[in-house]
Copies of this chain bind each other. A is one copy, B any other.
Amino acid sequence: MAPELRADAARNRARVLATARAQLAEHGSALPMNEIARQAGVGVGTVYRHFPTRQALLEALVVDSLARLASEADRACAEPNPLTALERLLRSAFGLLADSPGLDAVLADGAPQYPEALNLLGGFAASVDQVLARARAAGVVRAELAADDIRRLMCGMQHAIQTGGDVASKVDLYAQVLVAGLKAPEGAARADDSSQPPARGQSVPGDSRARGR
């Protein structure tokens, strides 16, 4: 589906990506295009050809993480218990956000330029939607929350984590705060939600890897 890059072009693209990834890890998401071009040993024009905007470059850098985000969310859909499903989804997402510099920026932007990133983000949103719908039906989360609120709140928590030191230890704590905060205020879980989750993605019960890292 992608236009089958020419071999040399693919090589250059890869070089740029590698350089940009190093920059991202070291100097954050500023991603100076000229500097990246220089370090990658290509002209600026080449960088711009492959990645018309800094946002596009950022998306390309996190597309793998985005894929994992979507896939983990999909797997969470298979979890029978609605609340557990939501928790799994959030924890895996937090783990990825913590490990993938730049992912938060793309998630915060909400509207990727690249179709691939857009699709992946859409898939993630769909999974969130589904998990959320079940949780809501079960009465275990606030009824006012939509899938997009989850995205925003995740970004917010990530921001809180990065706003200060002691990052590692905060991931868990803030994740717990968020999960707890999403729950329906009362203990008023609705009667029954034994509806089996849809077969999507087929799951493994007890895939309990909590948070990454």
Q: Is the CB of A182 within 8 A of B177?
A: yes
Does A160 touch B at the CB level, under 8 Å? yes
Shortest C-beta distance, A118 to chain B (Å), equals: 16
Please tell me the number of chain A residues within 8 Å of chain B, measured between CB atoms. Answer: 41
Cβ of A172 within 8 Å of any chain B Cβ, yes or no, is yes
Enumerate chain B residues within 8 angstroms of A178, measured Cβ to Cβ: 177, 181
Give CA–CA (A80, B212) in the complex, Å: 31
Is A180's CB within 8 Å of the partner chain B?
yes
Binary flags per residue of A174-196, CB closer than 8 Å to B gives 1, else 0:
10111111110100000000000
Interface 9-mer from A11-19, A52-60, A151-159: A151-159
Taken residue by residue from 131 to 144, chain A's Cβ proximity to chain B (1 for < 8 Å, 0 otherwise) reads as 00000000000101
Residues of chain B contacted by A164 (CB below 8 angstroms): 110, 148, 151-152, 211, 213
> Within 8 Å of chain B (Cβ to Cβ): is A173?
yes
Q: Does A121 contact B (CB under 8 A)?
A: no
